[in-house]
A and B are shown apart, each in its own frame.
Chain A
Amino acid sequence: MVRFENVGMRYGMGPEVLRDINLHLAPGSFHFLTGPTGAGKSSLLKLLALSHRPSRGLLTLFGQEVNSLKREDLPAFRRKIGVVFQEFRLLNHLSTLDNVALPLRIAGADEEQIYKHVTELLDWVGLGPQVDAKPPTLSGGEKQRVAIARAVINRPQLLIADEPTGSMDPEMGLRLMHLFQELNKLGTTVVIATHDLGLIKRFSNPVLYLKDSTLYSSRSDEYLDQYHRSSL
Chain B
Amino acid sequence: MIQFFGRSNELQLEKDASSRYLPIVISSMVFLAALALAGLFSIHSAVENWSTAVSGNLTVEIEYEAPRKLDKKVKITVDFLRTFPGVEKVRPLSLEESAKLLEPYLGRADVVKDLPLPRLIEVTIAEGSALDLVATAKKLSDTVPGARLNTHRPWLNKMITLARSVQLLAAAIMFIIGITTVIIVIFAARTGMVMHQEIIEVLHLTGAKDTYIARQFQNYFAKLSFLGALPGLLIAVLVMQILGFLTSQLEASLITAPTMIFEGWIALAMLPFLVALLTMGTVRWIVMGSLKRMM
Binding site for B on A (CB under 8 A): 49-53, 71-72, 74-79, 83, 89, 91, 93-94, 98, 102-103, 105-107
- B129 adjacent to chain A (CB < 8 Å): no
Interface residues of B in 187-243 (CB under 8 A from A): 198-199, 201-209, 212
Chain A minimum-CB-distance residue to B213: A106
**Interface presence of B292 (CB below 8 A):** yes
Partner of B202, one of A91, A93, A105, A107: A91
Rounded to whole angstroms, the CA-CA distance of A51 and B205 in the bound complex is 7
Closest-by-CB residue of B relative to A79 is: B207
Q: Say yes or no: A106-B206 contact (C-beta < 8 A), given A53-B295, A71-B292, A74-B295.
A: yes
Q: How many residue pairs at the A-B interface have CB separations less than 8 Å?
A: 48
Q: What CA separation (Å) do A20 and B205 show in the bound complex?
A: 25
* A102/B205 in contact, CB under 8 A: no
Does A93 contact B15, Cβ atoms closer than 8 Å? yes
| A75 engages B208 (CB within 8 Å) | yes
B294 nearest in chain A by CB position: A51
B253 within 8 A of A: no
Compute how far the CA of A53 lies from the CA of B293 in the bound complex, rounded to whole angstroms.
Answer: 12
Cα A103 to Cα B201 in complex, Å, equals 13
| Cβ contact of B207, chosen from A71, A75, A94, cutoff 8 A | A75
B94 at interface, CB cutoff 8 A: no
CB distance from B199 to the nearest CB of A (A): 6
Cα distance, A49 to B206, chains bound together (Å): 9
The reply to whether A89 and B207 form a contact with Cβ atoms under 8 Å apart is no
Chain B positions within 8 Å of A106 at CB level: 203, 206-208, 212
Min distance, Cβ A51 to any Cβ of chain B, angstroms: 5
Judged by a CB distance under 8 angstroms, whether B3 is at the interface is no
CA distance A99 to B212 in the complex (A): 16
**Residues in B whose Cβ lies below 8 Å from that of A107:** 207
Other than the given A53-B295, A94-B10, 5 more pairs (CB < 8 A) read A50-B295, A72-B209, A78-B204, A78-B205, A106-B212
Q: How far apart are the CA atoms of A49 and B205 in the complex, in Å? A: 7
| 5 A-B interface contacts by CB (under 8 A) | A50-B205, A71-B292, A79-B207, A91-B10, A102-B203
CA distance in complex: A105, B8 (Å): 13
Is B12 touching A93 in the complex (CB atoms < 8 A)?
yes
Chain B residues at the A interface, C-beta cutoff of 8 Å = 9-10, 12, 15, 198-199, 201-209, 212, 292, 295
For B205, give the chain A residue with the smallest CB separation: A51
Instruction: Evaluate whether A89 and B208 lie within 8 angstroms (CB atoms) in the complex, with A71-B292, A102-B10, A105-B9 already known.
Output: no
Which listed residue (A52, A83, A103) contacts B295, Cβ 8 A?
A: A52
In the complex, what distance in Å separates the CA atom of A103 from the CA atom of B202? Answer: 10
Residues of chain B lying within 8 A (CB to CB) of residue A105: 9-10
Q: What residues of A have a CB within 8 angstroms of the CB of B203 in the complex?
A: 102, 106
Look across to chain A and name the residue whose beta carbon is closest to the beta carbon of B198: A89
A51 proximity list for chain B (CB < 8 A): 201, 205, 295
- Cα(A89)–Cα(B206), bound, Å: 11
How far apart sit A107 and B208, CA to CA, in the bound complex (Å)?
8
Residues of B within 8 A of A72 (CB): 209
Q: Tell me which residues across on chain B come within 8 A of A93, comparing CB atoms.
A: 12, 15
Question: CB-CB < 8 A to A76: which residues of B?
Answer: 207
Chain A residues with CB under 8 Å of B202's CB are 89, 91, 102
A78 with B295, Cβ < 8 A, contacts A93-B12, A93-B15 known: no
A78/B9 in contact, CB under 8 A = no
Q: Which residues of A contact B295 (CB under 8 A)?
A: 50-53, 74
Among B199, B207, B212, which residue has its beta carbon within 8 angstroms of that of A103? B207
Which residues from A are CB-within-8-Å of B199? 91
Residue of B nearest to A105 (CB): B9
Which residues of the other chain, A, contact B212 by a CB distance below 8 angstroms? 106
Instruction: Compute how far the CA of A79 lies from the CA of B206 in the bound complex, rounded to whole angstroms.
Output: 6
Given known contacts A71-B292, A89-B198, is B206 in contact with A102 (CB within 8 Å)? yes
Task: List, in ascending order, chain A residues with CB within 8 A of B207's CB.
Answer: 75-79, 103, 106-107
The 6 closest A-B pairs by CB, nearest first: A79-B207, A78-B207, A75-B207, A106-B208, A75-B209, A93-B12
Closest partner residue, chain B, to A150 (CB atom):
B206
A105–B202 alpha-carbon span in the complex (Å):
13
Q: Which residues of A contact B198 (CB under 8 A)?
A: 89
